[in-house]
Each structure stands twice: as C-alpha cells, then as structure tokens.
Amino acid sequence: MFDTFNTPQAAEDLKVMAEEITNRTVTWVVNSHWHGDHIRGNQAYKDSIIISSQLTYEKMRDIHPSRIGKQKNDIQGLTTYIQSLQEQLAASYDSKLEEQISFLGEIEASLPYLELTLPRQTFINELTFYGSKRSAKLYTLGGGHSDCDSILYIPDENAIFMGDLLFVDTHPTIFEDSNPAIWVQILERVKEIDFVVAIPGHGPVGTKRDLSKLIEYIIDITKMARTTNEEIAIPEKYQNWSSSEIFHQNISGLSQKVKLINVSNSFPFY
C-alpha cells in the first residue's frame, strides 16, 4: 500500500478494496512523506509493516502529536465552522463549498478515534522489495514537495508511484517546507527512469508528459512570485486544473520565499 489517505475510514475502504482485488492481506505500507493527508489513515494498518524514510518518520513523530491533539481539543470549533459553511451552501449553491464541507465532515468524524500510528521501519536512501513475480524499489531523492519525498518504482509494471512530487492537472501545494528548485531537479531525474504510468499524490493517473507539465508550472509560478502580486491571473494553460484556489496561495508563499533567499543561486532555472 502506498500512502493511507487523510482519515482512518478512507484508509479502511482502501484496505478492503485492495484485499478483495488481490485476495491477500496488506503486508507493507509506505508513507511517502509526513503530510497528514498521506499518513492519518495509518491506524487501519496496525497489523502491517509501515515504512518511511528516516526523516519522514522523525517529522511525523515530532509534528503530528500536537497537531492532532489540538484538533481533538477543538472538535466543537470544527463542527461550528462546518455548520457555517452549510448555511452558506443553503443560501447559494457552490460545488467547491460542497466539496469542502464533505472533506471537513470526514475529518470531524475521524477525530474522536484518530490515533497517530508511526512507521515501524525506516530507510535512509533506498530499499528494494523482492517478490515472487516482480520487484519494487523504494527510494528518496531528497525533499522537493516536503522535507523528504519517497518514490516507489515497479520496473516490471513500467509504473512509478510519485506521492506529492506529482500533481496531475491539479495545482500543486507549495508549502513552507517545499523547495521548488530541488523539486524541479527531482522531477528531471525521474523523467530519466523507464516508466509509462505515473501515479500522483493528487489528480488522475499520469505519464512522463505530466512531469514535464509540473516542471513548467513550478518554473512559471516561481517567476510570477517575483512580482509579489497575489492577484495575478491564472495563466490560461493552468485554468482548467483543479484546486485553482491553491494558485494564489502558492504565489503568496513563494513571494515570501523570494524575499528571504538569493534567487539567482536558489533558482538556477530562471
């Protein structure tokens, strides 16, 4: 299993589906990086071996207990917020608002019994799984989207699982711990690998072409951020991508990064 979703209930649905398809129990579970929407379903796999990079494990261990504790202590606040969104939806229908309510409702339902379940095994650079019919290589090239992002490559299937290093036709989230320059370098290196199918962290299944599109997006949006204009229009080639609200969040966050770093050294692709 590669990543466990944002809630235990979603993770349990995924587990049931996987075991029905394969007629086997889940033995290994990979956490590609430490962000909550990829690890908060771990408790559904307590009987499996959960594995991550050492840095991902450390981030999960150090950051999530307080985050989850804070959310558990304010369930009523979340409930009140969801109710306010439902009132807005009743006054004027908005599909994005409906999706947000559904998303937050799933989190609300999970919080009373949510438990942080940490990986039981870690690796530093890479690890190979050997099966009876095929092998799989789990490795990290460093941190692009997060402090450390893991990739799972299955040569015999011409498939690669990218986690949040890849967003397909979806605006990628560029967080405080993201490094756009390294992110681009990682994607360029992955493009050299022999694969046909790329499974992203968000969006539909992609190909190498989608890696190139994301590289172009990161370069474009980093250049735009130098204007520090948060109201800049979304370029036409990205207007049909989902999660359009992320675009201006990225512009805002990157404009702050640009102020703090030597752009010419940190963004050599300018």
Residues 250, 136 share a domain: yes
The domain boundary, picked from 84, 105, 123, lies at 123
Res. 262 pLDDT band, cuts 50 70 90: very low
pLDDT, tens only, 2-32: 999 999 999 999 999 999 999 999 999 999 9
The domain boundary, picked from 95, 123, 151, lies at 123
Residues 105, 135 share a domain: no
Residues 73, 140 share a domain: no
Cα separation, 158 vs 155, in Å, equals 5
Residues 136, 101 share a domain: no
Residues 234, 147 share a domain: yes
Q: What's the pLDDT at 260?
A: 55
The domain boundary, picked from 97, 123, 149, lies at 123
| Domain, as residue range, for 251 | 125-270
Contact between residue 250 and residue 171 where contact means Cβ atoms under 8 Å apart: yes
> What is the total count of domains within the chain?
2
Paired strand residues for 154 = 159
Q: What's the pLDDT at 200?
A: 98
Residues 246, 143 share a domain: yes
Residues 207, 77 share a domain: no
Q: What's the pLDDT at 227?
A: 78
Q: What's the pLDDT at 231?
A: 78
pTM over 0.95: no
